[in-house]
Structure 1
Amino acid sequence: MAKPKKMPRPKAETPKGFRDYFGPDVTERAEMLRTIAGVYHRYGFDALESSAVETVEALGKFLPDVDRPNEGVFAWQEEDSDWVALRYDLTAPLARVYAQHRNDLPTPYRRYAMGPVWRNEKPGPGRFRQFYQCDADTVGTASMAADAEICAMLSDALEEVGIPRGDYVVRVNNRKVLNGVMEVAGVLDPSDPDVRAHERGIVLRAIDKLDRLGPDGVRALLGEGRKDDSGDFTEGAGLSPEQAEIVMGFTEAGRDTGAATVARLNELVKGSATGEEGVRELEQIAELLDAGGYGADRILIDPSVVRGLGYYTGPVYEAELTFEIFDEKGRKRQFGSVSGGGRYDDLVKRFTGQSVPATGISIGVDRLLAALHAKGRLTSASQGPVVVTVMDRDRMADYQAMVAELRNAGIRAEVYLGNPKNFGNQLKYADRRDSPAAVIEGADEKARGVVQVKDLILGKKIAENATLEEWKERPSQVEIPRAELVATIRKILDGQG
């Protein structure tokens, strides 16, 4: 009789396009989100947590990566035949929440939300299928004051988390202006918006890649298409060279001042009612921001911003970090975009049949964290707990009393729970935990009412850099009365910053 075949062990590996977040990553993210939430709260926005799963109909088909299965979402069919999917952003779920609860919510409704989203996209370096977003939106007002407020709040949030003025700029544009340009170019018929909608989607995504592909790459996508360095071919919009140049003229309309830019945009959209309306809206936003003290050093009008998602209907925004970093090949480049958003007046209408104006922004949490690291505002190092070592396993109650005392004083602490036989292994464990200090109490110390406290951070520094004299002047291990344990540990932590 044949032996039953053994099942192979599962591979211990992260699925492609996903990553694991360990202690320092989670802590840094939580601190940054807490800071941003404070700015949002100061502006009068309320927190909202919505479901991570939505029906496919509720999410809609707005992702630009239409070549992926289910058009870029992770979807599955429930037993009752409804298709559901993991949310791909935090905006589409907001539209559903507002439509469902609008009778119980104030108008306008200001909300912020933070959490993971999932996209079934082709992964690559720094491009994951699960990532965190941090959003703020205002639903229920068509006033351009809401758009100006969102931009001002984004500017304040960036400065609050540690991106100084001069290292970022919030760029503002209007999709109505681009629609006016496409109307002038013959790519959009206002009487039948569905005609050539596919080509217009390609135009939007092409312009959105201007900073990455450059003018020539965008021109290729406006025309027949483009083959990238890997050999993959991306379909183009099929515009004629003349049509493509009209669109490119729009992306190059930026001038030294907002007024000059708006004047140039007025020239490009002349004859298009939609385009002229978009220019007027940009003028209103610029005036409101100027009145609030947000000049062009922080927020400016920039025609090259279009945003890739298909649900934007008016003003769009993008926060770009302007300082330089070195890429993986050692080349200098600007850090780039960390946030984007815009007005999406038709998203709630999908549920209610009535137009509900809305506008908002989304911050890419992982990218902003990477930017803070690049600026030296964050370091990967994190302080671990104080480790109380175990010299006698029969005296665990004494050691637990020590950590309880430290914890009650607000100090992170733990008892070593491994095999206490080898004391050296306990100190190695403390080093691995990035512990700032270790507490030692053997039978002799217990009898004399003292403990030994080892400053592990100072010990590392002395071992690396100090002379013998410095060892004598600043011992990394001291004996103290047991009653002074908390005060001594606090002094060590304060000294380590």
Structure 2
Amino acid sequence: MTTEDAAQRPEARNPRGFSDKRGAALVAERRIVRAVSEVYERWGFEPLETPAFEYVDALGKFLPDTDRPNEGVLALQDDDDQWMALRYDHTAPLARFAAQTWETLPKPYRRYAFGPVWRNEKPGPGRFREFVQCDADTVGSDRPESDAEIVAMACEGLKAAGLDDGQAVVRISSRKLFDGLFEAAGVTDAGQRLTALRAVDKHDRLGWDGTALLLGEGRLDESGDYTKGAQLAPKAVDAIQAFLTSASDPAASRGAILDAVSDAVDLGAPGARALEELAAIDAALGALGLSEDEARFDPTIVRGLEYYTGAVFEAELLLKTVDDKGRPVRFGSIGGGGRYDDLVARFTGERTPATGFSFGVSRLASALAAAGRAPGADVRGPVVVIAFSQDDMAHYLAAATELRAAGVAAEVYLGRAGMKAQMKYADRRRAPAVVILGGDELAAGIVTIKDLDAGRAMAAQVSDNAAWKTDRPGQVTAPRGDLVAVVRGIIEGSSIK
């Protein structure tokens, strides 16, 4: 190959925010999806799959920027000049589907969905441009009990995904609380309200001093970047401070938090309705057996998407996690949702109540890996049949076929390396065992099977090389007809499944 040819070769690299997944990482995500989907189905939700692409006007959240819609979504123009974009979540496609098929659906309509979503945003730790979500939504019910059910189901899903008690909490609030607070404080401008909500959303990170700056004139951060504030009047800023402070007691019950919020500040008529709805959610959560540690009221929860109209939920990871250098890293939110009663109305003109929750599957899998708890790290590879000679390949293929027919994952090594390299290959594949059918075994009608897990464990206890060769730890010789039984015994007896 010439120097010119080498210069023209593309560099093998991933686009930022997009990752390759193999082996344990992919199994981890699939296990989470399977576990959470089983929870959804137990609660009576049916699966739905929508296309990866939706028309941009149907997605609704993002508007075209100059000549193409690239604000937050990955879009392309169809041959009929219509813009379509990869879905950024599973909720917007659900709203389109519900509006399109409403007359044929059971009402309320309960569905769950899973699969990749795509966002054109800056990637970071645990934040990707392509990632997997697993959602459940109820469309057509305005009862607070439907919100409570979604929260209870989310808590059950978190446990099914691999989290123990105390390792996550779902925080609950209502956007109507802020609607009432703004109304009572005289904040009528929609832009001011949105900027103020974004400021409150940063409260857990910036504390009150930083939040107050963003509610007022603005804030200059450590990097020198300036963020313009909401320009709220001091009266409104004081009301928000009282509101946020009212629920700062971590030991307070859900009911006590509602009382404290009600007593702290004037929330107007919308806020009073929100407190009634949250009280009904609290009662339903109690009936469903949800403890205060699993689901808490937290009025600082805002949620980033702009279409929430009532109750909002956010699942926060409490599990300690570290990066690849052992430094603490905070994942924060691993899922969220809420009530969005106006989303279907974008298509129909009629308000249709809806509520739902979404698991960030990729984010949760990354968090579990950062905590040394990756579901899938224990995944086993196939039993490997060693290949010695091309002349005996039929025997190797028959052995692998026999194992697979018995439900045991198996493969014949089809490279061209020697015995030592094949054993190394089996170890890298995390094979539970290797099958050896050399000339001596074939002539005697026997099979040699190496239990790799037992071999590694016994090798750690053997210091003498001669003893190792004599004892052959983890190695079993059996009649050829006992192949399946011996391999099954090794797999079932292993502590690694």
Question: Do both proteins adopt the same fold according to a TM-score greater than 0.5, normalized to the shorter chain?
Answer: yes
SS at 1:136 equivalent:
strand
Could you tell me how far apart the structure 2 residues matched to 1:147 and 1:135 are?
14
Instruction: Tell me what 1:443 maps to.
Output: 439
1:215 aligns with 2:208: yes
Which region of structure 1 is more displaced relative to structure 2, 6-15 or 72-81?
A: 6-15
State the shift of 1:294 in Å: 1.6
CA distance in 2, matches of 1:496, 1:473: 20
Name the residue aligned to 1:408: 405
1:140-176 deviation digits (Å, cap 9, x = unpaired): 0111110011011111112223322222221111100
2:456 aligns with 460
Residues paired across the two proteins, number: 484
Q: Which amino acid aligns with 2:294?
A: R
Q: 1:427 to 1:89 in 2, by over 3 A?
A: same
Partner of 2:242: 249
Deviates more, 1:201-210 or 1:20-29: 201-210
Q: Residues 413-445 of structure 1: CA distance to partner in whole angstroms, max 9, x if unpaired?
A: 10011115x222222221222222111111221
| Correspondence for 1:491 among 474, 489, 492 | 489
The SS at the match of 2:441 is: helix
- Compared with structure 1, are the counterparts of its residues 486 and 229 closer, same or farther at alpha carbon in structure 2 (3 Å cutoff)? farther
1:150 aligns with 2:147: no
| Amino acid aligned to 2:195 | I
The answer to whether 1:261 aligns with 2:257 is yes
Structure 1 range deviating more: 410-419 or 117-126? 117-126
Deviation string 1:296-346 (CA, Å, 9 cap, x unpaired) is: 122121111111110000000112232333457756576532111000000
Residues 472 and 152 (structure 1), Cα distance of their counterparts in 2 relative to 1, 3 Å cut: farther
Answer yes or no: is 1:303 the counterpart of 2:296.
Answer: no
1:378 to 368, 375, 378: 375
1:236 paired with 2:210, answer no
CA contact (8 A) 2:24 2:376 kept: no
Which one-letter code corresponds to 1:394 in the other structure? D
Which residue identity does 1:444 align to in structure 2? Answer: D
CA distance in 1, matches of 2:36, 2:224: 41
Could you tell me the TM-score, scaled by structure 1's length? 0.91
Q: Is the 8 A contact 1:187 1:200 kept in 2?
A: yes
State the partner residue of 2:336. 340
Paired with 1:238 and 1:119, the residues of 2 have a C-alpha distance of: 30
Q: Tell me if the contact between 1:62 and 1:310 (Cα under 8 Å) persists in the aligned partners.
A: no
SS at structure 2 position matched to 1:394:
helix
CA contact (8 A) 2:138 2:356 kept: yes
RMSD: 2.6
In the alignment, the residues of structure 2 paired with residue 392 and residue 368 of structure 1 have an alpha-carbon distance, to the nearest angstrom, of 46
SS in 1 for 2:8: coil
Name the CA shift for 1:467/1:382 in 2 (closer, same or farther; >3 Å).
same
Alignment-derived partner of residue 274 in structure 1: 270
Q: Secondary structure at the match of 1:347?
A: coil
Structure 1's 18 and 303: CA in aligned 2 closer, same or farther, altered over 3 A? same
Deviates more, 1:451-460 or 1:145-154: 451-460
When residues 445 and 271 of structure 1 are mapped into structure 2, their CA distance, relative to the original with a 3 A threshold, is closer
Q: Give the equivalent residue in structure 2 for 1:430.
A: 426
Match of 1:225 in 2: 218
Report the equivalent of 2:129. Answer: 129
Query: Which secondary structure state, in structure 2, belongs to the residue aligned with residue 246 of structure 1?
Result: helix
How far apart are the structure 2 equivalents of 1:317 and 1:150?
9
Q: Distance in 1 between matches of 2:374 and 2:9?
A: 42
Q: Which moved more, 1:461-470 or 1:430-439?
A: 461-470
Task: Give the 3 Å change call, closer, same or farther, for CA 258–467 of structure 1 in structure 2.
Answer: same
Which letter maps to 1:119? Answer: R
Secondary structure of residue in 2 paired with 1:131: strand
Alignment partner of 1:72: what SS? Answer: coil
Aligned equivalent of 2:191: 198
- 1:69: Cα distance to partner? 6.7
The residue that corresponds to 1:475 in the other structure is 473
Aligned to 1:390, the other structure's residue is in SS state: coil
Residues 432 and 229 of structure 1: CA distance in aligned 2, closer, same or farther (over 3 Å): farther
Q: Which runs of 5+ in 1 are unaligned?
A: 189-195
**Counterpart in the other structure of 1:395:** 392
Shift of 1:284: 0.9
| Contiguous gaps of at least 5 residues in structure 2 | none
- Confirm or deny: 8 A CA contact 2:114 2:135 kept in the other structure: yes
Letter in 2 for 1:8: Q
Q: Does 1:59 align with 2:59?
A: yes
Partner of 1:191 in structure 2?
none
SS of 1:323 mapped into structure 2: coil
Counterpart of 1:193 in structure 2 is none
Inter-partner Cα distance in structure 1 for 2:483 and 2:18: 43
Letter of the 1:476 counterpart: G
Q: 1:123 to 1:271 in 2, by over 3 A?
A: closer
Q: What CA distance in whole angstroms lies between the structure 2 residues aligned with 1:492 and 1:295?
A: 42
Q: Return the offset for 1:235.
A: 3.3
Aligned CA distance change for structure 1 residues 186 and 268 (closer, same or farther; 3 Å)? farther
Q: 1:419 maps to what in 2?
A: 416
Partner deviation per Cα, 1:352-401 (whole Å, 9 max, x = no partner): 00000000001111222234342636363431111101111122221111
Say if 1:62 and 1:309, in contact at 8 Å, map to a contact too: no
Q: Find the aligned partners of 1:163 and 1:375 in 2 and give their Cα distance.
A: 12
C-alpha contact 1:344 1:358 (8 A) present in aligned 2? yes
- 1:7 to partner: Cα distance: 7.7
For 1:200 and 1:71, the matched residues in 2 are separated by 21
In 2, the alpha carbon distance for the partners of 1:105 and 1:7 equals 58
**Distance change (3 Å), C-alpha of 1:473 and 1:6:** closer
Moved more, 213-222 or 336-345: 213-222
1:18-47, CA deviations, whole angstroms, 9 ceiling, x for partnerless residues? 111112111121122111111110110000
Instruction: State whether residues 89 and 118 of structure 1, in contact with CA within 8 Å, keep that contact through their aligned partners in structure 2.
Output: yes
Q: Which range moves more in the overlay, 40-49 or 224-233?
A: 224-233
* Counterpart Cα distance in 1 of 2:372 and 2:16: 29
Assess if the C-alpha contact under 8 Å between 2:31 and 2:375 holds in 1.
no
> What secondary structure is seen at the aligned counterpart in 1 of 2:134?
strand
Deviates more, 1:257-266 or 1:352-361: 257-266
Are the aligned partners of 2:244 and 2:300 in contact in 1 as well (CA < 8 Å)?
A: yes
Q: For the structure 1 residues 375 and 318, does the alpha-carbon distance in structure 2 shift closer, same or farther, using more than 3 Å as the test?
A: farther
Q: Closer, same or farther in 2 for the Cα pair 1:471/1:218, shift >3 Å? A: farther
What residue identity is the alignment partner of 1:139? V
**2:403 is matched by which residue type in structure 1?**
L
Instruction: Give the equivalent residue in structure 2 for 1:32.
Output: 32
